[in-house]
Structure formats: structure tokens, C-alpha cells
Structure 1
Amino acid sequence: MSLEQNINGAIKTAMLAKAEAELRALRAIKAAVLVAKTAEGSTGELSEADELKLLQKLAKQRKDSLDIFRQQNREDLAKKEEEELSVIERYLPKQMDEAELRTALQGIIASTGASSPADMGKVMGAATKQLAGKADGKMISALVKELLTK
């Protein structure tokens, strides 16, 4: 079942349960899917990879907004972003923890033959392809930098 079909079913369930926060997040996902499907040059269908990128983008937007709202002591707005983020994360694959990510990156570094910080681009290219959707880009970058400077 496609993401759009899952979201439509979840919207119906959230409406019946009168779950306002969940409904808000689901509608945001649905709107983003519709925009992506009708974008210029689009085929009208989204691949699974496109759906994953879309969800990651929405989650990143929520995380960034959450950080800003917390810095500005706007807990009311931060709470809304947090609620939406938790709903969006349900549709994303499970994220790797730091230990799993470190192990995966060590394998990627070994396979690319990287040995210094100058090889970071080569490692990042392979890592972002291999770990797409499983880990945050900032965390990947920080760990690659740390592993290559040892």
C-alpha cells in the first residue's frame, strides 16, 4: 500500500478519534504528497524513495522549528511541532542509534579506502546512499569527521 493510501486511512481514523494533533500532521503529509505528485516534471506517482525523502524533509522541518521555538521559549508552538514530528516519524523507517551508525560507517570507510579527512566527500557519498532514511545527515557527517581524524 502506498504512503498516500496509508495516510488517507489514518486521516479517517484520526477524524473519528477526534485526534487533532495527529490529524494536523497527517494532513501536512497528504498536502506534501499532493504537491510532489503535481509538481512540474512529475510523473504523477511517487516512488518509495521519493516518499521516504518527502517524509524526511517534513521531519527535518519539524525538528528545526522545534529547536527555534525552544530557543525562543515558545513551548506552546514547540509542543505542536513535537506532536506532528511524532506522527511523521511513525511512517519513517527506524533510525539507527549511534553505535549501529558508527559500525556501519567504519565498514563504509574500510570499503572506500578512506584514511584522512580529505576523503570525507567520498565516504559521505557512499554513506548517504547506503544509510538513506536510517540516520540523520548531521549525525553521519559528525561521526565520519570523528572517525577520519583518528
Structure 2
Amino acid sequence: MAGWRGRSGGAGTTSVRSRSHRRRTPRPPRRAARRGEAWGRSLRVATTLKAQLREEITSALRSSDKVRLGALRMLSAAVTNREKEVLHELSDDEVREVAGKEVKKHAESIEAFEKAGRHELADKERAEREAVSGYAPTQLTEEQVDALIDEAFAETGASGPGDFGAVMGAVMGRARGQVDGTTVQRKVKERLG
């Protein structure tokens, strides 16, 4: 005996049988792909906006645009936090919803900074809002909001203040983040009396 050879028959070699078996066995799909298929989603569709966001973050890094980079990173963090809350990868519509909330936060910050006389911070918030607004859903015009309210009134048969919740639910269900709730609330209250 020339030395100990181990189980495979050679010192540190693999048997021919196990090598050929590995070649014939297909590789398992990536973990993320398996997860996406289990949820019934195509990863290409589910991550289009997220991939675009990552690309924009990279371009902001390369161009040294700190304000845009900060805003996009905050949006990316908000998307990640939302994914952790709902325990699945967000679709494009869900990413738009998160972006809409971020745009609203920036608008509130701009208003607060303007009231406090901090115009330089308000300008920075405007630039951040502009960077994030491309991911937010397009906002409905006043005419479109009025048309939605008309449809909701016709659908619910609202006639008095007691029907406020039904009308609001119908309008906000159709608008899905494309309109500010306070605007709809004000218009519905005016109509109901």
C-alpha cells in the first residue's frame, strides 16, 4: 500500500461517478428567483422600478450630486423598510405608493421650513422632492378628482353628512395614491353641506 487513499479511492480526488452526476444535475435557481416564482411574480416585472432606482443612485454617486443621492437613498431605504413590513418584494405599484408618501413628506417639510423662514432648507427639500417625484404616481388634475367624486356620489347615492365615509372610501379606492386625501376630503365636505 502506497498510502491512505480515503473513501473516493484517491488522495483528495472525487470519483468519476460523482463528477458525471454533478454535470448532469441542473443547478438550482437563485434564491431570489425561487422566492419570486413562489409568490407568483416575475422578478423582472417586480423589480423594474427598484432596478431603475439602483441605477439612479449609482449615477448620482458618479456625478457627486449629494442632494439627489441622499433623496434616492432615503427612498430606497423606505422601499426596503416597506418590504420588511409586508414580507414580500414590492411591485412597481407598491414602490410608487412608497414614493408618493416620500413626496408628501418632502412637501410637508418644505411648508414647515417656509413658515420658519429657513429658505435654504426649503430649497434643499424641493430638490429632494424633485429627485423622488419621478417614482411617485402621477397626480390627478382637479377635473379628474371632480369626476371621481361625481362617480362616487352616483354610486353611493350620498345625500347628507352621514354618507361622508362611503364617498371618501369610493374615491380613495379608485385614486390609489394619485390624489391628496385632504383635497378630496375638503371637496366632499363642500358637496355634502
Work out which of the residue numbers 113, 118, 128 in structure 1 matches 2:172: 128
What residue is the counterpart of 1:77 in the other structure?
121
Specify the SS of the correspondent of 1:29.
helix
TM-score by length of 2: 0.70
Work out which of the residue numbers 58, 81, 85 in structure 2 matches 1:12: 58
What residue is the counterpart of 1:35 in the other structure?
81
In 1: Cα distance, 2:128 partner to 2:115 partner: 19
Give CA deviations for 1:9-58 in whole Å, capped at 9, x if unaligned.
Answer: 1111222233222111111111111222234xx32412344323311221
In 1: Cα distance, 2:161 partner to 2:146 partner: 16
Contact 2:140–2:179 (CA<8 Å) still a contact in 1?
yes
Unaligned runs of at least 5 residues, structure 1:
none
Identity across the alignment (%): 31
Unaligned runs of at least 5 residues, structure 2:
1-44
Specify the SS of the correspondent of 2:117.
coil
What residue is the counterpart of 2:68 in the other structure?
22
In 1: Cα distance, 2:79 partner to 2:137 partner: 18
Which has the larger displacement, 17-26 or 72-81? 17-26
Which has the larger displacement, 15-24 or 94-103? 15-24
Contact 1:93–1:133 (CA<8 Å) still a contact in 2?
yes
Deviation at 1:111, TM superposition (A): 0.9
In 1: Cα distance, 2:89 partner to 2:140 partner: 29
TM-score by length of 1: 0.89
What residue is the counterpart of 1:109 in the other structure?
153
In 2: Cα distance, 1:13 partner to 1:27 partner: 12
Structure 1 letter corresponding to 2:117: N
More helix by share: 1
Specify the SS of the correspondent of 2:90.
coil
In 1: Cα distance, 2:141 partner to 2:163 partner: 24
In 2: Cα distance, 1:21 partner to 1:113 partner: 48
Specify the SS of the correspondent of 1:90.
coil
| Structure 1 ranges of 4+ moved more than 4 A | none
Structure 1 letter corresponding to 2:90: L
Equivalenced residues, count: 147
What residue is the counterpart of 2:23 in the other structure?
none
In 2: Cα distance, 1:88 partner to 1:108 partner: 31
Please say which structure displays the higher CA radius of gyration.
2
